[in-house]
C-alpha cells in the first residue's frame, strides 16, 4: 500500500502524517468491519461548511437561497465523484470481493463517499486549515465558473430539488389534482408537497407546466425566491 499511497498523495496534493488514516479513508464497508463510514460522516460536514464559507465570501450580494443552490451543486454526489475520477481514486479503493466483481470502484456513490472520507482523514491528520486549502485547490476550476445568475436559467422544479437537497430534506411530491377541458385545450392542476410546508398549486396547459408553477410557488413560500 505504501507505493500506491505515495501516488495518491501526489494526486491529492497532500501527504499524510498518519498513513493509517488514509488507508482507513479508502476502506469501503464491504472490505471489513473497520471502514471509512465514520470518516465519511465527518468529511461530509466539512466539505459542506468549507464550500458554504467560500460561496459566502465569493458572492457577497447573493441571497441565502442562491447560496444554498450553488452549494448543493458543489457537494452533490455527482460532483464529488467527478473529483474522485480526477484523482483516479478507483485504483486505490479497498473493496470486498463482491464490490470488486460488480465494479464498485466505478460506482458514483462509493467514489463520492471516499472523497468525503479522505477530507475527514485530512482534518484529523492536520486540522481545518489543511482541509480548506485542499478544498480550494480541488474545487478551484468549478468555483471560478460559478455564477449566481446562472441559477435562474434552471427551471423551478430543479431549483426546488437542489434547495431541498442542500438542506438534506425529502424531495417534493407532485400530485395531479384535475384535468379540465377538451383534449386539444386542457388545463392541468397540480399540487406540490414539501415536508413542513402547506401544499402549493399550479395550473397550466400541460402537467409539466403546472408542476413548474407549483414548484415556483413552493420556492416563494419557503422564502427562497420572491414572487414575480
Banded model confidence at residue 82, pLDDT cuts 50, 70, 90: very high
Is position 9 annotated in a ligand binding site?
Answer: no
Q: What is the pLDDT of residue 98?
A: 83
Banded model confidence at residue 223, pLDDT cuts 50, 70, 90: confident
pTM of the model: 0.68
Does residue 62 contact residue 146 with C-beta atoms inside 8 Å? no
Is position 40 annotated in a ligand binding site?
Answer: yes
Concerning whether 173 is annotated as a catalytic residue, the answer is no
- Which of 53-57, 147-151, 154-158, 185-189 shows the lowest mean pLDDT across its residues? 147-151
Among 99, 116, 211, 225, the active-site one is 116
Is position 113 annotated in a ligand binding site?
Answer: yes
Q: What is the pLDDT of residue 70?
A: 87
Across the range 122-145, mean pLDDT stands at 95
Domains and CATH numbers, the chain: 2-147 (1.10.1520.10), 154-221 (3.30.160.20)
Concerning whether 116 is annotated as a catalytic residue, the answer is yes
Give the Å distances, CA to CA, from 173 to 179, 180, 191, 199, 207: 18, 21, 8, 10, 13
Helices and strands (H and E) in the chain: how many? 11, 3
Among 6, 9, 37, 44, the active-site one is 44
Amino acid at each position: 500500500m505504501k507505493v500506491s499511497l505515495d501516488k495518491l498523495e501526489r494526486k491529492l496534493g497532500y501527504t499524510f502524517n498518519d498513513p493509517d488514516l488514509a488507508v482507513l479513508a479508502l476502506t469501503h464497508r464491504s472490505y471489513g468491519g473497520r471502514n471509512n463510514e465514520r470518516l465519511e460522516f465527518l468529511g461530509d460536514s466539512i466539505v459542506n461548511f468549507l464550500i458554504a464559507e467560500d460561496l459566502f465570501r465569493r458572492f457577497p450580494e447573493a441571497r441565502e437561497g442562491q447560496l444554498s443552490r450553488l452549494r448543493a451543486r458543489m457537494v452533490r454526489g455527482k460532483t464529488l465523484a467527478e473529483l474522485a475520477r480526477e484523482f483516479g481514486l478507483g485504483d486505490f479503493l479497498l473493496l470486498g470481493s463482491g464490490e470488486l466483481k460488480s465494479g464498485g470502484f466505478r460506482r458514483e456513490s462509493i467514489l463520492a463517499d471516499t472523497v468525503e472520507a479522505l477530507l475527514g482523514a485530512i482534518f484529523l491528520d492536520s486540522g481545518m486549515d489543511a482541509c480548506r486549502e485542499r478544498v480550494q485547490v480541488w474545487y478551484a476550476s468549478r468555483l471560478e465558473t460559478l455564477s449566481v445568475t446562472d441559477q435562474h436559467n434552471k427551471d423551478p422544479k430543479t431549483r426546488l430539488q437542489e434547495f431541498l437537497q442542500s438542506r438534506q430534506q425529502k424531495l417534493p411530491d407532485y400530485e395531479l389534482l384535475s384535468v379540465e377541458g377538451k383534449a386539444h385545450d386542457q388545463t392541468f392542476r397540480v399540487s406540490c408537497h414539501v415536508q413542513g410546508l402547506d401544499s402549493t398549486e399550479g395550473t397550466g396547459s400541460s402537467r409539466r407546466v403546472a408542476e413548474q408553477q407549483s414548484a415556483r410557488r413552493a420556492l416563494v413560500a419557503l422564502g427562497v425566491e420572491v414572487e414575480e
